[in-house]
Homo-oligomer: A and B are copies of this chain.
């Protein structure tokens, strides 16, 4: 049984954030609907078929895309496949430990994966090489470099950006020239946390550490919902959930613009 790690935050910090929250203030001075600065850099890794480094405030993640030839799933013999992994390496935070992915990392990878998969961002039906025999497998690897909160949005954004300009490595396999990976319109993920009945977007580490509940929604270009995940040990009211989605629809439009630049 994986024991969820006991998160220790000093009582002083907790009280300080609680006091601020009552006045509708956040520890770093942002408003409840304000993201930290977002920065996207693409093609930062030469060996990868696609890559992107994303910063949201001090949080920094790197997504790398690799394609390999593999067998299709028996129930979709003419479709490629995708696989998403996340590593929380000790490099990125004093709390991260080496070893195989723990529940936190697995949840993170699976939520990012669902957003991409359900919005049909990668055109898997165009990744068949030989029906029933050979298809492209797209590996999305999320590598956290600096952890200051909101990995869900940072990783989702990095994965989307990395896929956007990724190539199919035909040359390496002697299949002819490389070509762009066929993609449609990326999902955009928006994450909120709730503490002291205060719900804020894009939590930083301090906020995550005292948060009672977390909510992530992945939206497509029409603002439709493609994936959602409520996390942590508290609860949301129905209205809070609905409100989060409406707020996310506004944020997602802005973030989508960064992706399309």
Contacts and interface: CB of A to CB of B under 8 A. Distances in A.
Interface in A1-53: 1
Contacts of A1: 90, 98
Nearest to A98: B1
Instruction: Give the size category of A's interface with B.
Output: under 10
Contacts of A98: 1
A90 B98 CA distance: 26
Nearest to A97: B1
Interface string A114-127: 00000000000000
A90 to B, nearest CB: 7
Nearest to A90: B1
Q: Chain copies in the assembly?
A: 3
A220 to B, nearest CB: 35
Interface in A95-153: 98
Interface string A192-216: 0000000000000000000000000
A207 B154 CA distance: 52
Nearest to A99: B1
Contacts of A90: 1
Interface string A80-95: 0000000000100000
A54 to B, nearest CB: 27
A1 B90 CA distance: 9
A213 B90 CA distance: 29
Nearest to A2: B98
Nearest to A1: B98
A90 B2 CA distance: 13
A19 to B, nearest CB: 39
A8 to B, nearest CB: 21
A1 B97 CA distance: 8
A68 to B, nearest CB: 13
A162 B215 CA distance: 45
A23 B133 CA distance: 71
Interface string A57-90: 0000000000000000000000000000000001
A37 to B, nearest CB: 33
A2 to B, nearest CB: 9
Interface string A169-193: 0000000000000000000000000
A98 to B, nearest CB: 5
Interface of A: 1, 90, 98
2 contacts: A1-B90, A1-B98
Among all A-B residue pairs, the 2 with the closest Cβ atoms:
A1-B98, A1-B90
